[in-house]
Amino acid sequence: MRIYEKNIQVIYSRDWVYIGNGDLHKATLTSNVDLTSSTLAADQASTAVVFSTDGGTTYQNFGDIKAGQKYKVQILDRNLGHSLKANDFYAFDWSASNPKPSDASSDSPEFTMSSGDNKLLVTVLDAHCPFVPSDFTGTWDSEEVPVPGGCNCSSTETQHVTQDSSNPNKLIMDNFFGDGVGNATVYMIFSVSTTAKDQAIEIPEQVTEEGGTATGTGTYDQCRGTITLHVHYDQYEWIYNFTRP
């Protein structure tokens, strides 16, 4: 990125910009994306701010921006291959930036370039949706994922989940481990979450109709409508990823 304002040259290199005219004037534009408290924490090193000078039609790693010019930004996650959006149930906080954006909670806020120091700071969190246990009833596809030392499980089964009549947070699945309806029924207890980080599931130790012992823990995502379980069934152990068919 090269930005010119009179005799001030701006040279952009990855996450920093040096603005200078010899020793007469210096300024910086820095950007920092904090994913550490989100489910995308592992993508921290592959995520960066990208810039648009055409009102958000296109975004680039670099652009020509003059002091006083408005520009938009987004957060590009290169591992995902796209920019992060509020519609994907992420929450954004740009309020620590200087200068301030047009909307501190936007996934593509607008800034005005300053000839002084510019600091773009954003924290990304997972959005939280209030717990509605009935949303997790119905038909699911459950993908078995092997874990080290566990079973060589790799199939996908169809499971039906119902809600207990006396405890709305107790959800019951059939066809556990693909062993058939009526042979392996297992119940789960969902916690009532207050944030996106405490959406927990417990499978208390229980014996199924065919005599197997099931236990496990897991998480759910109310906003995205998914379930992930780490389960044991007798000597077998695997991960279950539940998605809607």
Task: Give the chain's mean pLDDT.
Answer: 88
68 confidence band (pLDDT: 50, 70, 90): confident
Q: Distances in Å between the alpha carbon of 212 and those of 149, 206, 234?
A: 19, 8, 6
Domain that holds residue 206: 133-243
Nearest residue to 169 (alpha-carbon basis) of 213, 142, 135: 135
Same domain flag for 117 and 207? no
| Residue that finishes a domain, picked among 126, 156, 182 | 126
Is the pTM higher than 0.85? The answer reads: no
Nearest residue to 5 (alpha-carbon basis) of 120, 118, 122: 118
Same domain flag for 15 and 111? yes
Question: What whole-number distance in Å separates Cα of residue 53 and Cα of residue 59?
Answer: 8
| Residue that finishes a domain, picked among 126, 156, 181 | 126
In this predicted model, what pLDDT tens digit does every residue of 169-223 receive, in sequence order? 999 999 999 998 889 999 999 999 999 999 999 999 999 999 999 999 999 999 9
How many domains does the chain contain in total? Answer: 2
The arithmetic mean of pLDDT across residues 44-63, rounded, is 92
The arithmetic mean of pLDDT across residues 149-158, rounded, is 90
Phi, psi of 142 (to 5 degrees): -115, 120
